Amino acid sequence: MKSNTTEYLKQHRVKPSFQRIKIFDYLITKKNHPTADIIYKELVNEIPTLSKTTVYNTLKLFVEKEITQIINIEDNETRFDADISTHGHFKCLNCNTIYDFSFDDKNINIFDIEGFDKIQTHLYIKGICKTCKN
Amino acid sequence: MKSNTTEYLKQHRVKPSFQRIKIFDYLITKKNHPTADIIYKELVNEIPTLSKTTVYNTLKLFVEKEITQIINIEDNETRFDADISTHGHFKCLNCNTIYDFSFDDKNINIFDIEGFDKIQTHLYIKGICKTCKN
DNA sequence: AACAAATATGTAGTCATTACAATTTATAAT
DNA sequence: ATTATAAATTGTAATGACTACATATTTGTT
């Protein structure tokens, strides 16, 4: 029996090795926008032979094949998200949680770059989340 | 005679040392969104005793005092901008130039984070600029 | 089973950034 | 002005994320 992830990876020209499936499943089920190091530390419990290099290689491959996007909301850490739909990220400056949010980019008026081809859009907002306000 | 920069730094509780004035002037006149290394390499010609640590310390101070913002459009490099007005950044994937653009954030419909306090907004767009399209 | 190709692993290295101690410069008081 | 004190700058060493590369393992094919 093949998992959904196996099929999804194949469809995007990524050979579904054991490690790749585990890393992709981690991203898509946890939805926690982890760093490479967080992924490694969690999965090494399950896969004791896992190498950090494999985590980096795999994430790089996922980004190339466009099944994962990089989140640069903080300058000292690279985070990853397997949800590649256009959506924004909110980081709470108090609890450091990163929330997803959706936005309607048809309603953004953008000036000064008319006639530019826009390939990727990233919207990051920082502030204090509702939970931390109380 | 005191420069505008001297007064501006004082107003924002930054003691206007020689190095700080030079670094701030570099940012505000060049408007080139440089990395710390770019600033160092350019200014060391003018100030031979300049230390890279000073550049880092100074930029960190400027960010704390909110007279400079960090640009994280690319995950492997931290860039700086002394224009702290809310504006977006476009990076051309061909020529690597970073363009400023303005946007009207009143017209963005944002869902899922109602009731969150929004302190900082960063809008990054990547693509191909008009010059490179021709 | 034997071979070739692709993946995974571990180590060593790179590079941006920071920590920290030592100088130098600026400020204030006598 | 001179000394004392604080602040800023500098240089070196350390950190930590990431990558290069060589080796080992796994997978697929004949």
Mean pLDDT in chain B? 95
The answer to whether B14 CB sits below 7 Å from nucleic acid chain C is no
Q: Which of B100, B126, B133 sits opposite A112 (nearest CB)?
A: B100
> Is the per-residue pLDDT at A1 higher than 80?
no
> Is the per-residue pLDDT at A2 higher than 80?
no
Tell me, what's the pLDDT at B26?
98
Task: Tell me whether A75 touches chain B (CB under 8 Å).
Answer: yes
By residue count, chain A amounts to 134
| B27 min Cα distance to partner chain A (Å) | 19
Average pLDDT over residues B82-103: 95
| In contact, B74 and B91? CB cutoff 8 Å | yes
Tell me, what's the pLDDT at B2?
62
d(CA A33, CA A42): 13
Tell me, what's the pLDDT at B130?
97
**Strand D nucleotides, any atom under 7 Å to a protein CB:** 7-12, 17-21, 27
Per residue in A57-109, pLDDT (tens digit) is: 999 999 999 999 999 999 999 999 999 998 999 999 999 999 999 998 777 88
Q: Which of B72, B99, B116 sits opposite A113 (nearest CB)?
A: B99
Mean pLDDT in chain A? 95
What confidence tier does A13 reach under pLDDT thresholds 50, 70, 90?
A: very high
Can you tell me whether residue B81 is helix, strand or coil? strand
A128 compared with A86, residue with greater pLDDT: A128
How much of chain B exceeds pLDDT 70, in percent? 99
| A1 min Cα distance to partner chain B (Å) | 36
| In contact, A12 and A5? CB cutoff 8 Å | no
d(CA B22, CA B92): 28
Task: Tell me whether A95 touches chain B (CB under 8 Å).
Answer: no
* Contact yes or no for A107 and B103 at CB 8 A: no
**Strand C nucleotides, any atom under 7 Å to a protein CB:** 6-11, 16-20, 26-27
Q: Which of A103, A112, A117 sits opposite B109 (nearest CB)?
A: A103
Beta bridge partners of A77: A74
Using a CB-CB cut-off of 8 Å, the residues of chain A touching B78 are 75
Q: Which two tokens stand for residue B115?
A: 């009731």
Per residue in A26-59, pLDDT (tens digit) is: 999 999 999 999 999 999 999 999 999 999 999 9
**Pairing mode, strands B109-110 and A103-104:** antiparallel
Tell me, what's the pLDDT at A109?
85
A4-81 domain in CATH 1.10.10.10? yes
* Contact yes or no for B122 and A119 at CB 8 A: no
Per residue in B29-52, pLDDT (tens digit) is: 999 999 999 999 999 999 999 999
Tell me, what's the pLDDT at A100?
97
Which phi and psi angles does A97 have, rounded to 5°? -65, 140
- Nearest-5° Cα angle at B58, B24 to B53: 125
Residue of B nearest to A106 (CA): B108
The answer to whether B15 CB sits below 7 Å from nucleic acid chain D is yes
